[in-house]
Structure 1
Amino acid sequence: MPLVTTGELITRAAATRSAVAAFNIITLEHVEAVVAGAETTGTPVVLQVSENAVRFRYGRLLPLARAAAAAAERAAVPVALHLDHVQSDDLLRQAPDAGFSSVMYDAARLPYAENLAATRAAAGWAHAHGLWIEAELGQIGGKDGRPPLDAHAPGARTDPAQARDFVAATGVDALAVAIGSAHAMTTRTATLDHGLLRRLAAALPVPLVLHGSSGVPDEGLVAAVAGGISKVNVGTALNAAMTGAVREFLEAHPEAVDTRTYLGVGREAMAREVARLIGVLTPGGTRAPAPTPA
């Protein structure tokens, strides 16, 4: 079906106190697995391409973006394309022509005043070019191999009053909030501050986004959605599923050289994890087995 916009999916989710799962993609296998998992559950989904993924693809956005768009247009469920963790203004300006309806502009590494100024400029450009824009306040941590911040470190949590002022001043459409998760976690041991989340949800007029969701246990994700999270970003969980499945296959089949054999196993493992996580996040969602591609 035709591509949908991230904004319409998130707006609908926020209105119904539910959440949309947004999965980071790196390879074509990621793309196909996310679409297959979403089709299994009959649930809309967001395909995300991060600036790091673009860097991995020799700095070229279009090859992966075109593949994602082609898969989305042939999917049996609504699919949106989102450009994630953009720090480069040049990359931001490539988003509309590459088929993205939304972007997460990441200036959270900067001091507050600089983050606000950079994000306000990015939001102005994005809205002028039809893009829905997400920003981050507080430091979720764990990105690019950096350790997560200590829970009590300055800036490690999003302050509700500051966040209200930030959203009003920048005009962003959604805000990624720091409430205890961290990027790139390979254990599901993150403890979210649900009290802070409730205060943020009460203070802000825009949908809230949870980054670093791979490290959050299922019950924490369910509580986060109930507390006001409308978009849940997942990346590492898919990579862990793929890597584990490929490693197990190659250990059992050391003679294998055809990449289709082990990449197929990895793709199926990711599709199962996509379906499982959507089942966790979606009220009444199914925890269905992995789909069998035609």
Structure 2
Amino acid sequence: MPLAPTGDLVAHAATDHRGIAAFNVITLEHAEGIIAGAEAAEQPVILQISENAVRYHRGQLLPLALATAAMARSSAAEIALHLDHVTDVDLLHQAADSGFSSVMFDAGALPYAENVSATASAARWAHKAGLWLEAELGYVGGKPDSPASAHAAGVRTDPAEAAAYVARTGVDALAVAVGSSHAMTQRSATLDHALIERLRGAVPVPLVLHGSSGVPDGELRSAVRAGIVKINIGTALNMSMTRAVRDTLDAQPALTDPRKYLGPARDALASTVHTMLTVLAH
């Protein structure tokens, strides 16, 4: 199946008042597991490759992007390809030639005026290149440049500021700070659903939740009802993969063939994806 445009998947989800999951890809096993989970759940997904993942692959975007896109095209599931948390303008400019239909441009570490200027410039370039652009306003916990707590005073996204930001930058979606944190290993986050509703009323573009691995099922469902559309999930996949690798090697410490432990890890990831998609489908 041809790659689906991210903007279309997000727009369809918004119209249907449901969430669309975006899962982080770091290795080929990630991509294979996510696609298997999507096919089992019969749900569309967004595969996203972050700037950090590109850095892990020695700064080379194209090999992982082309392989991921090829796997997506061979799937029966509806799949989009998204470049995530980009701070490097040179990397942004590689997106259009690498199979991506969307980018999340992250200027959140800059002062507000500089964030607006940089993001508006990124959005203008992206739109000329036919790409959908997501940005972030507020400080989602767990990032190196963010406050220690997602609940610290002043870190959450202000609806009036968010409306002005979207108007000035022209972005197509906005990631908001409403109580989640990146890289959480416990599903204990409590979201501000009243704030999500206020943001939905103020902002004319779809809302995105980062750090969703730490959000319990009920909170995720409530967030979608309140107005969240795109839901980013990464750490939960890595936890399931790592747990499976440890279990396999603990049981068979003499193993040396990586296929013997990466295979179960891929299957565990696929199961996590299926579970998360089932949560968001109800």
TM-score by length of 1: 0.94
Distance, in Å, in 2 between the alignment partners of 1:193 and 1:240 is 26
Q: Which whole-Å deviations, capped at 9, do the CAs of 1:47-94 have from their partners, x for residues lacking one?
A: 000000000000000011011100010011111000000000000000
> Is the Cα–Cα contact under 8 Å of residues 148 and 182 in structure 1 kept in the other structure?
no
Letter in 2 for 1:133: L
Q: How does 1:159-178 map to 2 (within 5 A)?
A: 159-178=158-177
Match of 1:119 in 2: 119
Deviation at 1:145, TM superposition (A): 9.0
Letter in 1 for 2:38: A
Q: How does 1:1-294 map to 2 (within 5 A)?
A: 1-144=1-144, 148-154=148-154, 156-283=155-282
Distance, in Å, in 2 between the alignment partners of 1:139 and 1:94 is 26
Deviation at 1:147, TM superposition (A): 6.3
3-state secondary structure, aligned to 2:104: strand
RMSD: 1.1
Return 5+ residue gaps in structure 2 as ranges.
none
Identity of aligned residues (%): 60
Q: Which whole-Å deviations, capped at 9, do the CAs of 1:161-197 have from their partners, x for residues lacking one?
A: 0000000110000000000000000011111001100
Q: Which whole-Å deviations, capped at 9, do the CAs of 1:188-242 have from their partners, x for residues lacking one?
A: 1111001100100111110000000000001110001111111000000000000
Return 5+ residue gaps in structure 1 as ranges.
284-294
3-state secondary structure, aligned to 2:85: strand
TM-score by length of 2: 0.98
What is the number of residues matched between the two proteins?
A: 282
Deviation at 1:95, TM superposition (A): 0.1
Q: CA 1:46–1:62 in 2, change beyond 3 Å: closer, same or farther?
A: same
Q: Which runs of 4+ in 1 moved over 6 A?
A: none
Deviation at 1:153, TM superposition (A): 2.8
Q: Which whole-Å deviations, capped at 9, do the CAs of 1:1-43 have from their partners, x for residues lacking one?
A: 0111000000111111111110001000000000000000111
Deviation at 1:152, TM superposition (A): 3.2
